[in-house]
């Protein structure tokens, strides 16, 4: 019987390709316009892509190892915190981009991000401390994603263009993913964990749709 990690891995890889294309066009946009906003978004999505790559490898490892519970696999595996860490850094960069765009001053974000930076400890802390750190990282990601989601919907409400709706939907789905992840970690519930990953992957598919929309422009 096919392990549950395999279909998740396939969707994850599709999302990774979407992020690669997005990073390519964001880098191009930065090179042509020299706009710092594009630099923030490019770096953010690049780090997010690095996290997704790590998560893909973990899904593959879980599938090959026929892991009984994915949530346990992610929590006990030493690299399990890496996607969360990358996501936090990526969200900080993306949020800085939106903050700069809206307020003109990226430093204002410092008021809403408490104590970000400890996530590097995830890699070296013993197993029994990792579960609370996943919880903390998810909570931080939720704060960042709330800001990013509101900002992206604000952008959409100004322009009313379909292309602006897609990143807003992507961030909303990622926010929902993190909201479900917290109870799944607290209850160590595999089903909720999988649901959280599905929402996250749906968010990546929304970014894939954005990529197709950009590529198809004539």
CA distance 30 to 170: 22
Over the window 10 to 29, marking each residue x when it contacts another protein by CB under 8 A and - when it does not, the resulting string is ------------x--xx-xx
Does 159 contact another protein by CB under 8 A?
A: yes
**69-89 as b/e, with b when 16 or more CB fall inside 10 Å?**
bbbebbbebeebbbbbbbbbb
CA distance 177 to 189: 14
- Binding span for another protein by CB under 8 A among 37-45, 65-73, 117-125, 179-187: 37-45
CA distance 122 to 201: 23
Residue 189 has which token pair?
């519930």
Does 104 contact another protein by CB under 8 A?
A: no
CB closer to another protein, 165 vs 185: 165
CA distance 98 to 115: 20
CB closer to another protein, 146 vs 154: 154
CB closer to another protein, 44 vs 83: 44
CA distance 181 to 110: 25
Which positions touch another protein (CB under 8 A)? 22, 25-26, 28-29, 32-33, 35, 37-38, 41, 97-98, 101, 151-152, 154-155, 158-159, 161, 163-164, 166-167, 210, 213-215, 217-218
């Amino acid at each position: 019987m096919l392990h549950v990690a395999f279909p998740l891995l396939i969707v994850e890889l599709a999302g990774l390709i979407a992020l690669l294309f997005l990073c390519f066009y964001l880098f191009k946009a930065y090179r042509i316009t020299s706009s710092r906003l594009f630099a923030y978004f490019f770096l953010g999505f690049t780090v997010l892509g690095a996290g997704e790559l790590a998560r893909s490898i973990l899904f593959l490892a879980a599938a090959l190892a026929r892991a009984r519970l994915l949530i346990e696999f992610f929590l006990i595996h030493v690299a399990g915190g890496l996607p969360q860490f990358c996501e936090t850094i990526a969200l900080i960069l993306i949020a800085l981009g939106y903050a700069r765009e809206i307020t003109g001053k990226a430093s204002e974000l410092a008021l809403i991000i408490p104590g970000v930076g400890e996530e590097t400890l995830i890699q070296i802390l013993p197993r029994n401390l990792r579960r609370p750190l996943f919880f903390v990282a998810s909570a931080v990601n939720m704060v960042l994603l709330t800001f990013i989601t509101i900002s992206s919907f604000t952008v959409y409400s100004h322009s009313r263009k379909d292309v602006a709706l897609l990143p807003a939907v992507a961030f909303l789905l990622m926010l929902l993913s993190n909201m479900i992840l917290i109870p799944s970690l607290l209850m160590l519930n595999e089903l909720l964990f999988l649901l959280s990953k599905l929402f996250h992957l749906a968010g990546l598919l929304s970014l894939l749709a954005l990529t197709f929309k950009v590529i198809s422009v004539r």
